[in-house]
Structure 1
Amino acid sequence: MTFSIVARQGEAYGVAVASKFLAVGAVVPAARIGVGAVATQSYARVAYLDELIGRLASGESASGALAAATALDPGRETRQVGVVGASSAATFTGSECNAWAGGVARDDGDTAYAIQGNILTGPEVVEAMERAWLASTGRPFAQRLHAALVAGDAAGGDSRGRQSAALYAVEPGSGYDASGVLADLRVDDHADPVTELGRLLAEWEMYFGKPEDVRPLAGPLADEVRERLARLGFTGDDPAHVLADWAGNANYEARLSPDGIDARVLEALRAATPDPR
């Protein structure tokens, strides 16, 4: 009833999942900074999340942790689990999972992934997710997770339909107040949850992402920023200080930089002050 990707990229770990199931993000994903990530699905055993994260934290490999945990579970043949650790990845599909069910796992050194699904339209869902993950090299981690989910959804996804999706990822120093939460998003009940999750991810990155493509606030750009801010009622001699006032009011303070103005903040400022035609 669910398809997911569990992955690592550098120091980031995360899970993206979609299902014809209410609030799938409340059940399937877990991740811990410096340790790993887990997805439990198909008659999900939520206790696997803490158990597997704990085993990874104690130094067990993903495959070793998964084998030990499932061996102790009398319901293991109904389960499906993906695990990624610091240097390993593993997936498990029980023999009693509803068809089509299966997965793939690989550790390539700096990156690793486990992709799995059950009650899918066919193996093409997992295959499409793997291709999308591999083709998205170079993109931000959370975007890569979502790209894999989009590909799985487009390939057929859950054979029963769509209802919910979620993305949870961690990385040292990321997120609001450098909490380490790179993304924490859920679409609990929606006609097109994977698309809605993408919209929320774009918003999340705007509010909590790090500054990017920063341009110095000098010359004509400083004049433009000062003039646009004045149109919004924010005035002063120093455009950096005025920009900080406006950005704080708009909740964009995470994207402020002492070196100038972030490209996405500039885009938002221009959108808020359209030029007359």
Structure 2
Amino acid sequence: MTFSIVGHGHDARGEAAWGVAVASKFLAVGNAVPAAVAGVGALATQADANVAWKGIGLSLLDEGATASVAVQRMIEEDDKRDHRQLGMVDGEGGAATYTGTACLDWAGGLAEDGPEGGGGVAIQGNVLAGPEVVDEMKRAWDAAAGEPLGRRLLAALAAGDAAGGDRRGRQSAALLVVSDGAGYAGLDDVAVDLRVDDHPDPVSELGRLLDLNDFYLTASTEDEKVPVTAELAAELDERARAAGHRDLAAWVGTENYEMRVAEDGSWIDRKVLDLLRGQH
């Protein structure tokens, strides 16, 4: 009842990243299917999903198991394995996928290890329009090589959706990407954690949310940072006061631009600077 892609790549900073994109005719699929920990790996559990596999799988990977070994151990110990589906990528980019024989047609997947240093991918789905869903997802994944992982996963998910996706229809989608230090203020590993729980076009809505996430919740790259001189600092405070705020820091906090302005005031993101100047 679901199609997903689990992958290893890099984030906008060039740091190693792991993630999952998933869509389904199922309410809040992001609550059940994806799991990931930076440096450890990522997985998707679906069909008659065994949600306990999320913790079990990540623990096996953390203990040193490869994706293929972890998947084999998990299905051997589950007496409902014929009804399960699982995709996994380990910390080194190794990939594995499993589809139980009792999963509803069309059901299947593919897995491909990445080159040394990352790039592994596992794609799987059940109750799909046909095998072309998985094929188109792989084609889009390959075509997006070099893109940040979140964008690459979303491109593959959109391609699967366009190829027919879940043959019962659309309802929800989710995207989870982790990378060391990529979270809010750099304090955790969650680079992207977006869920569209109930929507007529959830994959497109997920794309809109990713655009917002990239702006509000992703740290500026070095190329996006504008050094703040004494003259620019005076301008920024003046413009912030003209917008009704005490100073630039108050404007930044009100507009939720904390990830795009240096805490010590030494730089400001080019897009944020343009927004502030554009207000007046």
Structure 2 length as normaliser, TM-score?
Answer: 0.88
Counterparts in 2 of 1:136 and 1:223: CA distance versus 1, 3 Å: farther
C-alpha distance after superposition, 1:20-41 (max 9, x if no partner)? 0011011101111221111000
The equivalent of 2:105 in structure 1 is: 99
Closer/same/farther in 2, CA of residues 215 and 123 from structure 1, 3 Å limit: same
Counterpart Cα distance in 2 of 1:118 and 1:267: 46
User: Do the aligned partners of 2:9 and 2:148 also contact (CA within 8 Å) in 1?
Assistant: no
Equivalent residue letter for 1:21: F
Aligned to 2:152: 144
- Give 1:216 shift: 3.1
Q: Which amino acid aligns with 2:201?
A: D
Closer, same or farther: CA 263–150 of 1 in aligned 2, 3 Å? farther
Distance 1:210 1:118 in 2: 36
Give the gaps of 5 or more residues in structure 1: 236-241
Q: How many angstroms does 1:129 deviate by?
A: 1.3
**What RMSD, in angstroms, separates the aligned Cα atoms of the two structures?**
2.1
Q: Which amino acid aligns with 1:92?
A: Y
Correspondence for 1:262 among 261, 265, 269: 269
2:169 is aligned to: 161
Q: Does 1:113 align with 2:124?
A: no
Question: In the TM superposition, what is the alpha-carbon distance from 1:177 to its structure 2 partner?
Answer: 2.8
SS state of the match for residue 166, structure 2?
coil
SS of the residue aligned with 2:267? coil
- The whole-number CA distance in structure 2 between the counterparts of 1:166 and 1:153 is 13
1:7 is paired with a residue whose SS is strand
Residues 232-277 of structure 1 show CA distances to partners (whole Å, capped at 9, x for unaligned) of 1247xxxxxx433311221111111355321332343355x1x6xx
1:199 equivalent among 197, 208, 220: 208
Equivalent position of 2:72 in the other structure? 67
Aligned to 2:4: 4
- 8 Å contact 2:174–2:196 — kept in the other structure? yes
For 2:22, the equivalent position in structure 1 comes to 17
**TM-score normalised by the chain length of structure 1:** 0.89
After TM superposition, the structure 1 = structure 2 runs for residues 19-34 of structure 1, keeping only pairs within 5 Å, are 19-34=24-39
| Residues 175-205 of structure 1: per-residue CA shift (max 9 Å, x gap) | 2132111111111111111111111222222
1:83 pairs with one of 75, 88, 99 = 88
| Structure 2: distance between partners of 1:263 and 1:157 | 38
Aligned length: 267
Equivalent AA in structure 1 for residue 107 of structure 2: A
Distance in 2 (CA, whole Å) between partners of 1:102 and 1:220 is: 61
Deviations 1:33-88 (A, max 9, x none): 22111100011111111111111111111001101110111211111100100221
Q: Where does residue 188 of structure 1 map in the other structure?
A: 197
Percent of aligned positions that are identical: 52
CA–CA distance in 1 between the matches of 2:271 and 2:131? Answer: 38
The whole-number CA distance in structure 2 between the counterparts of 1:222 and 1:138 is 36
Partner residue of 2:133 out of 125, 131, 136? 125
